[in-house]
Structure 1
Amino acid sequence: MSGKIKVMLVDDSAVVRQVLAALLGKDAGIEVIASAPDPIFAMDKMNVQWPDVIVLDVEMPRMDGITFLKKIMSIRPTPVVICSTLTEKGAATSMQAMAAGAVAIVTKPKAGLKNFLELDEGDIVQAVKAAAAANMRHVKSMTMAGLTPPKKLSIDQVMPASEASQTSLTSMAITTDKLVAIGTSTGGTQALEVVLTQLSRTVPGIVIVQHMPEKFTAAFADRLNSICDIEVLEAKNGDRVIPGRALVAPGGRHMQVKRSGAQYHVEVIDAPPVNRHRPSVDVLFRSVAKCAGRNVLGIIMTGMGDDGALGMREMHDAGAETIAQDEKTCVVYGMPKEAVKLGAIDKITPLSNIAGLIEAYGRKHG
């Protein structure tokens, strides 16, 4: 993309449109070309000039944001940043939008909007820039697959019955000493769905940092839990990392892994952002390197920036197996690229292979 990033704002609040236009307009690389109070007006303006990025509300008159998003994705896939309220209802609706192809979320409170957005203006600008860099062909392919969730693998498909009967007594003892650590950002909500819906309940415990605002991670985990064979939870302080369970770091807080004997548990902590993120992938990965060493499979997936690259190198140096999602299947090839540049990665692989590699890791002895 050459020149400025052309942005359209679609929100039924005139105040939101005004504040967002002013904040985005401060960045020399962004130009707000149009705004509209609802999707019907937006389509009229987009027929004149199509934007590079759309900042979209989800609850609007005449046509809701999710319907509009699906229409855009079917006509001309375009990066969309969801601008949604910090409410449980807003979070759940925004998760539907992410599943339909949106690439990022910006939060807006019900009150104190102007001050809130001005305090978080860096996040808004970064979200728009990350969206502009998104590989929309891959977003569309994941979204089309996501409309009908991937067929779940049964345990017999993952491990033949004869093999399972011989190893069932020992596999749990082995997997309780292993864990899988995943870090991801832009495009990660769809990518994690692709991976987690294919996993069986015998996989090692999984800990995940997905860059996402407060309140939205609970809705995200609930949605994944409803479509996966494994249990997916928003992490709470003290939760155990056990086979068949994935713990998602809560938005607005960091998550670390700690070890007690042969068991792992998580600590959810309040601390300043790291690499401009809270939760931070580096915080999780560094804790895993310290407490689990070689008993870890580290995976870094689609996302903008370099959060997680340093932590991945620390895991790699501690003897962990490390995987990066390849450029072709990333929505944004930022985080994996930085980890590769640091020499932190053992294997670069397409998104479609990651679930199988997790299953294979879980079956390894020693």
Structure 2
Amino acid sequence: MEAISVLIVDDSALMRSLIGKIVDSAPNLQIADKAMNGRFALQKIAKAKPDIIVLDIEMPEMNGIEFLKERKKIGLDIPVIILSSIAKEGAKVTMECLELGASDFVTKPSGSESADLHTVAAQLVEMLQGYGGQYQLKKIAGTARRIPEELLKSYESRLIDPETGHYQRKTGIESLHPGSPDLFHQDTAAARAVQTGKPAAAKPVPVRKPGPIEIIAIGISTGGPNALREVFAKIDPNLKQPIVVVQHMPAGFTEEFANSLNRICPLEVKEAQEGDLVKPGRILIAPGDKHLEVEKRPLASIAHITDAPPQNGHRPSADVLFGSIAREYQNRALGIIMTGMGRDGAAKLAELYAEGSRTLGQDEKSSIVYGMPRVAWELGGVMEQVSLSDMAEAINKYAREFAH
């Protein structure tokens, strides 16, 4: 496939330059164009034909929220990654952007010398390659929406210089600074290897037969915000089992994320706190930068929140959650691993399966990044692969048929 083209939309020249350098330094990515606000972005889409858009929220003339509303109104389905501030108010607005159709978000790097710059770069590239690659496949298959003709006329015409009659392609764009540091230098061989595929390993032999399902645990990463919105909107309101979730997400965002899910889910969704009851009718989301574990007690199960070191580079870690479920519930759980880069959750999901619990994995076609579920499948820890569109029904079915 061709390189994934990225439209960068931010009113800060520094941020446009930083994001541009990240795109330029990454494999299979290229800059389609840049714009200083949402209005200019809409003007450029017809000519730039991006596969994905990186969008700031706070901008003059047309901010990120207004852009997403206009995008929805004119029927564009080009995926959008939000550049979010770390402040609490930024978290709330970021979740509003997801509700308006944005695909995912990354927190803004604070500058070229920022300690978190390489981390943000890696996350952003992963998202651009995942969502942008999926959109390219949609274009090849003919299922991507065509840019409406009225968009070509109404927005592109505003870029014509009335004096010269020429298209002002460079409006609002600055060139990248020569000699800028290479912001994305990490080896992506591991990421590419994840896509090569291997046959599934022989499944572990469970030490006991599956028992009734008493709890459901989900591990998910890139692609997770919208995937969980789709699944939880269709979850059975009479589900008898509690659900616990690790979604890789920075600190400060998971509370608002849980609140946004709570608005569309028939069950209660909340950010987990130390000592929370793990009970039917409730979904607990692991807090950002904290591990979530479950302890099963004679009268009730409770949530534990810890600051233990990251596992597989993540805190919260799906492996930590699945490990506690395997230890406390053995064969009486349903473990689910979904879209995401890397291998977090794969080893402990296999351990959960070996204990006798039932397990599901999201399939390759519907995953934004088929990393975590692929490794879990290769380790033999996945009983059944399920598409995202069928995941809610699969959960409902297993929970209903094997209720305790």
Give the aligned partner of residue 284 of structure 2: 247
Give the aligned partner of residue 329 of structure 1: 366
TM-superposed deviation, 1:106: 0.8
TM-superposed deviation, 1:325: 2.4
Could you tell me how far apart the structure 1 residues matched to 2:395 and 2:75 are?
Answer: 36
Give the aligned partner of residue 36 of structure 2: 37
TM-superposed deviation, 1:95: 1.2
TM-superposed deviation, 1:75: 4.1
Q: State, as a whole percentage, how many aligned pairs show the same letter.
A: 40
Could you tell me how far apart the structure 2 residues matched to 1:359 and 1:122 are?
Answer: 35
Considering fraction of residues, name the structure with more helix.
1
Could you tell me how far apart the structure 2 residues matched to 1:273 and 1:128 are?
Answer: 25
Question: Is the 2:104–2:225 contact (alpha carbons within 8 Å) kept by the matching residues of 1?
Answer: no
TM-superposed deviation, 1:64: 2.2
Could you tell me how far apart the structure 2 residues matched to 1:182 and 1:100 are?
Answer: 24
TM-superposed deviation, 1:361: 3.6
Give the aligned partner of residue 182 of structure 1: 218
TM-superposed deviation, 1:336: 2.2
Give the aligned partner of residue 60 of structure 1: 59
Could you tell me how far apart the structure 2 residues matched to 1:312 and 1:326 are?
Answer: 15
User: Measured at CA, do residues 274 and 247 of structure 1 come closer, stay the same or move farther in structure 2, by a change above 3 Å?
Assistant: same
TM-superposed deviation, 1:117: 4.8
Describe how 1:179-218 pairs up with structure 2 within 5 A.
Answer: 179-197=215-233, 198-218=235-255
Could you tell me how far apart the structure 1 residues matched to 2:342 and 2:364 are?
Answer: 14
Structure 2: tracts of 5 or more residues without a match: 144-210
TM-superposed deviation, 1:88: 2.1
Please give the secondary structure, in 1, of the residue aligned with 2:26: coil
TM-superposed deviation, 1:317: 0.8
Q: What does the per-residue CA deviation read over 1:259-303, in whole Å, with 9 as the maximum and x for residues that have no partner?
A: 223532222222443333322222211221122111101112233
Please give the secondary structure, in 2, of the residue aligned with 1:220: helix
Could you tell me how far apart the structure 2 residues matched to 1:27 and 1:240 are?
Answer: 44
TM-superposed deviation, 1:114: 5.2
Give the aligned partner of residue 89 of structure 1: 89
Alignment of 1:104 with 2:104, yes or no, is: yes
Q: What does the per-residue CA deviation read over 1:286-341, in whole Å, with 9 as the maximum and x for residues that have no partner?
A: 22112211110111223333322222111111111111223343343333232222
TM-superposed deviation, 1:46: 2.6
* TM score, norm. by length of structure 2: 0.73
Could you tell me how far apart the structure 2 residues matched to 1:189 and 1:291 are?
Answer: 28
Please give the secondary structure, in 1, of the residue aligned with 2:323: helix
User: Measured at CA, do residues 58 and 317 of structure 1 come closer, stay the same or move farther in structure 2, by a change above 3 Å?
Assistant: same
**Aligned counterpart for 2:341 among listed residues 304, 309, 312:** 304
2:9 is aligned with what amino acid? V
Could you tell me how far apart the structure 1 residues matched to 2:343 and 2:132 are?
Answer: 17
1:187 is aligned with what amino acid? G
Give the aligned partner of residue 148 of structure 1: none
Q: What does the per-residue CA deviation read over 1:177-231, in whole Å, with 9 as the maximum and x for residues that have no partner?
A: 8110011222222221222223214421110011222211111101111222211
Describe how 1:1-366 pairs up with structure 2 within 5 A.
Answer: 1-2=1-2, 4-72=3-71, 74-108=74-108, 115-120=114-119, 121-134=121-134, 178-197=214-233, 198-261=235-298, 263-363=300-400, 364=402
Question: Is the 2:240–2:403 contact (alpha carbons within 8 Å) kept by the matching residues of 1?
Answer: no
Question: Is the 1:79–1:131 contact (alpha carbons within 8 Å) kept by the matching residues of 2?
Answer: yes
2:224 is aligned with what amino acid? G
Deviates more, 1:129-138 or 1:16-25: 129-138
Q: What does the per-residue CA deviation read over 1:116-166, in whole Å, with 9 as the maximum and x for residues that have no partner?
A: 55253333333323332335869xx9xxxxxxxxxxxxxxxxxxxxxxxxx
Larger relative contact order, structure 1 or 2 (CA cutoff 8 Å, min sep 6): 2
Question: Is the 1:130–1:304 contact (alpha carbons within 8 Å) kept by the matching residues of 2?
Answer: no
TM-superposed deviation, 1:245: 0.5
Question: Is the 2:111–2:117 contact (alpha carbons within 8 Å) kept by the matching residues of 1?
Answer: no
Question: Is the 1:103–1:186 contact (alpha carbons within 8 Å) kept by the matching residues of 2?
Answer: no
Give the aligned partner of residue 207 of structure 2: none
2:40 is aligned with what amino acid? F
User: Measured at CA, do residues 189 and 327 of structure 1 come closer, stay the same or move farther in structure 2, by a change above 3 Å?
Assistant: same
Question: Is the 1:135–1:330 contact (alpha carbons within 8 Å) kept by the matching residues of 2?
Answer: no
1:129 is aligned with what amino acid? Q
Deviates more, 1:39-48 or 1:247-256: 39-48
Could you tell me how far apart the structure 1 residues matched to 2:135 and 2:217 are?
Answer: 24
Could you tell me how far apart the structure 1 residues matched to 2:117 and 2:386 are?
Answer: 39
Structure 1: tracts of 5 or more residues without a match: 142-173
RMSD: 2.8
Q: What does the per-residue CA deviation read over 1:62-96, in whole Å, with 9 as the maximum and x for residues that have no partner?
A: 22213323544654422321101112221122112
User: Measured at CA, do residues 43 and 182 of structure 1 come closer, stay the same or move farther in structure 2, by a change above 3 Å?
Assistant: same
The higher radius of gyration belongs to 2
Question: Is the 2:51–2:135 contact (alpha carbons within 8 Å) kept by the matching residues of 1?
Answer: no
1:196 is aligned with what amino acid? F
Please give the secondary structure, in 1, of the residue aligned with 2:229: helix
Question: Is the 2:7–2:32 contact (alpha carbons within 8 Å) kept by the matching residues of 1?
Answer: yes
Aligned pair count reads: 329
* TM score, norm. by length of structure 1: 0.80
